[in-house]
């Protein structure tokens, strides 16, 4: 039985994933961690329909006393970075689902993890379809002359661009660099930043609007044609198969792994 502590259990993602993990016969949500609803029963917090006899904790020491086999973090970038330091110091395995961590923070986490017995798995997107989209985008990039990304998320998302769009651009750049600069020679913006963000030779345009959950289009163009690859997550349950895969694979990984693509083969 794998004992799991869910960090950010009061949030939409943490609660929805905890409700599914409870159904697994070989897994046990032994603890919840959050800054809200501390002391309340986990069953009530996640809307499970009955009490589970386990409370939401608000301190690391309470989690440490329960000694979970794995921590899953769906908090935010700032909290996840702090938790990663604590987990590594205590040699505890950690899956980070929080997005918005900077490159410097990720390098810091990797450096610390590689000097410990902890395994840290950072996953910007758990949707297997989205991961396939990223991998396929890299595979076909060499056949086109340019590429842009449009990512759409709900209006409560804190970071922009999304971690998924940045990771997609970086993966494309491993195969082909489309642009050396954000604006081409002679190109001007009538409105500042109208050409969007720019990383790894790819423009990224972020949409934040009610009614969306998580969506992304990768648009490739060349003479006389375009190719659009689109992925849509319309329910948070779309992330569960990827989370389950990550839980089952983390023990076979190195001390630091970034991206669910590392455990998906095409």
DSSP string, 112-153: HHTTSS--EEE-S---HHHHHHHHHHHHHGGG-SEEEEEEEE
Q: Are residues 159 and 84 in the same domain?
A: no
Give the pLDDT confidence score for residue 193 in this predicted structure: 95
pLDDT exceeding 70 applies to what percent of the chain? 100
- Which position among 153, 205, 215, 231 bears the catalytic label? 153
- Whether 71 and 166 map to the same domain: the answer is no
- 25 and 72 co-located in one domain: yes
Query: Is the entire prediction scored with pTM above 0.85?
Result: yes
pLDDT-derived band at 182, boundaries 50, 70, 90 = very high
CA angle, corner 152, sides to 217 and 201, nearest 5?
55
Q: Are residues 116 and 134 in the same domain?
A: no
Quote the pLDDT of residue 265: 85
Q: Tell me how far apart the alpha carbons of residues 176 and 170 are, in angstroms, rounded to a whole number.
A: 10
- Unique residue bearing structure tokens 């938790």: 83
* Alpha carbons 190 and 198: distance in angstroms, whole number: 17
Distance from C-alpha of 21 to C-alpha of 38, rounded to nearest angstrom: 21
User: Is 11 in contact with 78 (CB distance < 8 Å)?
Assistant: no
Q: How many domains does the chain have?
A: 2
CATH of the domain at 70: 3.40.50.720
Q: The domain that contains 223 carries what CATH number?
A: 3.30.360.10
Same domain, 6 and 116: yes
Does 205 participate in catalysis according to the annotation?
no
User: Contact, 218 vs 171, CB < 8 A?
Assistant: no
Give pLDDT tens digits for 232-264: 999 999 999 999 999 999 999 999 999 999 999
Q: What pLDDT is recorded for position 11?
A: 95
- 140 with 171, same domain? yes
Has residue 120 got a pLDDT over 90? Answer: yes
Q: What is the pLDDT of residue 49?
A: 81
For residues 125 and 163, the answer to whether their CB atoms sit within 8 Å is: yes
Q: Does 76 lie in the same domain as 50?
A: yes
DSSP state of 87: H
Instruction: For residues 28-56, give the mean pLDDT.
Output: 94
Same domain flag for 93 and 54 = yes
Is 157 designated active site? yes
User: Which pLDDT band, with edges at 50, 70 and 90, does 100 fall under?
Assistant: confident
Average the pLDDT over 16-27 and give the result. Answer: 95
Give me the mean pLDDT over the 169-177 stretch.
Answer: 96
Q: Are residues 189 and 176 in the same domain?
A: yes
Whether residue 42 sits in one domain with residue 22: yes
Give the model's pLDDT for residue 202: 98
- The pLDDT, as a whole number, for residue 105 is 97
Shortest CA distance to 251 belongs to which of 147, 119, 131?
119
pLDDT digits (tens, 9 = 90+) for 132-161: 999 999 999 999 999 999 999 999 998 899
Q: Indicate whether 147 and 246 sit together in one domain.
A: no
Looking at every residue in the chain, the average pLDDT score rounds to 95
Q: Could you tell me the residue range of the domain that residue 89 belongs to?
A: 2-122+237-263
Selecting among 55, 157, 176, 262, the annotated active-site residue is 157
Are 154 and 94 in a shared domain?
A: no
């Amino acid at each position: 039985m794998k004992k799991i502590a869910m960090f950010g259990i009061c949030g939409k993602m943490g609660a929805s994933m905890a409700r599914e993990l409870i159904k697994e016969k070989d897994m046990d949500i032994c603890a919840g961690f959050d800054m809200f609803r501390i002391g309340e029963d986990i069953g009530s917090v996640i809307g499970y329909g009955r009490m589970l006899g386990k409370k939401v904790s608000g301190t690391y020491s309470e989690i440490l006393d329960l000694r979970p086999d794995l921590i899953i973090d769906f908090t935010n970038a700032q909290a996840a970075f702090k938790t990663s330091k604590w987990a590594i110091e205590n040699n505890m395995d950690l899956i980070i689902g929080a997005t918005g961590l900077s490159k410097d923070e990720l390098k810091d986490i990797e450096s610390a993890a590689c000097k410990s017995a902890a395994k840290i798995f950072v996953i910007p997107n758990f949707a297997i379809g989205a991961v396939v989209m990223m991998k396929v985008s890299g595979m076909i990039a060499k056949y086109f002359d340019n590429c842009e990304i449009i990512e759409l998320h709900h209006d409560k998302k804190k970071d922009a661009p999304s971690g998924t769009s940045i990771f997609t651009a970086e993966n494309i750049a491993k195969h082909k660099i489309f642009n050396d600069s954000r604006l081409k020679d002679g190109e001007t913006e009538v409105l500042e930043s109208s050409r969007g963000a720019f990383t790894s030779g790819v423009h990224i345009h972020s949409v934040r609007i009610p009614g969306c959950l998580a969506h992304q289009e990768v648009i490739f163009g060349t003479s006389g044609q375009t190719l659009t690859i689109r992925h849509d997550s319309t329910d948070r349950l779309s992330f569960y198969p990827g989370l389950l895969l990550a839980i089952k694979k983390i023990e076979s990984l190195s001390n630091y792994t970034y991206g669910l693509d590392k455990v998906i083969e095409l």
